[in-house]
Amino acid sequence: CFTMTEAVVSTQSTGIILVFSSFLSLSIYTMTTNTNTLNLSSYTWHKVFLHLCSVFEQEGHEVRIVGGAVRDILLDTKPKDIDLCTTADPPTMLEILRKHQIITRETGIQHGTVTVHKKGHNFEMTSLRKDEIRGGFKECKYGGNFEEDAKRRDLTVNSMSVDKDGTLYDYFEGRKHLENRELRFTDDPTTRILEDPLRILRYFRFACTSDMFSTNECPVEYMEIFGERRSALADQSVVKGERIWKEMEKILSSQKCCEVLNMMEECRVLRSLGFPFPYDRKDYHEIIDLEVVVKGVEKEARAAVILGILFKRKPVKLGITLEHHWRVSNRVKDVSRITTETTNLKDEEDIRALKIHLYKLKPASLFEEEKNIRVLALKMDKTHSLPEELIQDLEKFERPTFMFSKDHFAKVPKFKGKQKDATDIIKEAWIKSCFTMTEAEMVDQIREMAENPDIVRGNKA
């Protein structure tokens, strides 16, 4: 049935979808058996959801499950998060929850969202929103109905909702697109992107962070629109740099990163973000090895490593992009800079200098962290010229201990100088040797200082 304000209930046939993932392995997604009503009773949070629905119904309001949770339920997978929407505006929503003594945290109340906690389950609850045109500009207001709220969502597969009875409300053929593995906007894509150009990046981000969708099947008309509207991504007055990095971090840390970067390059989006052209027009799979994993490197750092690899021949451009366009954290700046340095190393002398640099890091705990990042950079970068044995040598390198004590001075009775000053000289020589200086060589240096005390005095000066 079709009305202006009521749901269009999905009537698509039940079946099994065979999906080829980005790794060319076969995955099976089984859709739920009842096309009109979803069975929610098997989920541990179901009774809590029913209780919340009952509480709000008593006050004249409705609550539904919305967004990605509905998509996951249709795929018969456990939802990672449960997002709810209610017809109650934010003050009323809080009033109802408090009246019924339901624990809430005002995690995003400025956006109409609170976190509801009951019986070990957390739900993100948000008031319905709608767009209104005033003075030629679109404004977000609380209120409206579920269809208007669904229209505000970027993609059809995330625009569906489910009520307490399990009835599926599908206003924009989201279930059909889910079955066909299609990513579609809920409205005309040109209009949606004009409203917020960041939707270009959100489209690519969702394509690479969900195993359900192929990154090789972006509609031609979407690619053309992305290319036409890409320049807005370079305008800080239109899209803030922090928002760009939030999406790019998820893209760069995804296992589908190279496929999506290829698509973004094809429609020239990367150029508007300040990226250099691919080396020699190569496929990004020929530049980055995404299969590499190094223990201890977190998601954000991994994304920054990939960024550093892509900008390795343009380090100055990288600095400008991160500082003035993307507004990233100092951590991202440091990791990307370290990556560009590391992937430009050439020979054994460079590795020796790097080992000495790592040893001198303070506090000493930074040694392992930075070493892991540099090793990851070298292993992921398919374009560096460093021999493999030197990479393995760096990976095995442990922070050395300076094994020297006053007992060594006892072997040279003639030494009458200050042991601390002499120790500093020997330690510096040990570091300069890249930690290969032997105990015998250290004792020989003490003898030399005993014969020539000016060595110690000169070093102190």
Residue 6, pLDDT score: 36
Q: Where are the alpha helices (DSSP H) in 81-179?
A: 90-99, 146-151, 174-179
User: Hey, what are 117's tokens?
Assistant: 């906690």
Query: CA 336 to CA 376: how far, in whole Å?
Result: 12
Q: What is the pLDDT of residue 1?
A: 34
Q: Residue 428's pLDDT is what?
A: 95
**CA–CA gap between residue 357 and residue 353 (Å, rounded):** 6
DSSP assignment letter at 155: B
Q: Could you give the 3-state DSSP secondary structure of residue 125? A: strand
Nearest CA among 350, 364, 361, 433 for reference residue 393? 350
Q: For residues 152 and 66, what is the distance between their CA atoms, to the nearest angstrom?
A: 12
Contact 191, 184 (CB under 8 A): no
Q: Which strand (E) or helix (H) includes residue 16?
A: strand 16-20
pLDDT of residue 461: 46
What gap in Å lies between CA 50 and CA 36, rounded to an integer?
Answer: 19
pLDDT at residue 218, rounded to an integer:
81
pLDDT of residue 358: 97
Amino acid at site 109 = I
Tens of pLDDT along the chain (461 residues)? 333 333 334 433 333 333 323 332 333 344 444 457 899 999 999 999 999 999 999 999 999 999 999 999 998 888 989 999 999 999 999 999 999 999 999 988 888 999 999 999 999 999 998 876 665 556 678 888 999 999 989 999 999 999 999 999 999 999 999 988 889 999 999 999 998 999 999 999 998 887 766 666 788 899 999 999 999 998 888 899 999 999 999 999 999 999 999 999 989 999 899 888 766 667 899 999 999 988 889 999 999 999 999 999 999 989 888 887 888 999 999 999 999 999 999 999 999 999 999 999 999 889 999 999 999 999 999 999 999 999 999 999 999 999 999 899 999 999 988 899 999 999 999 999 999 999 999 999 999 999 988 877 656 54
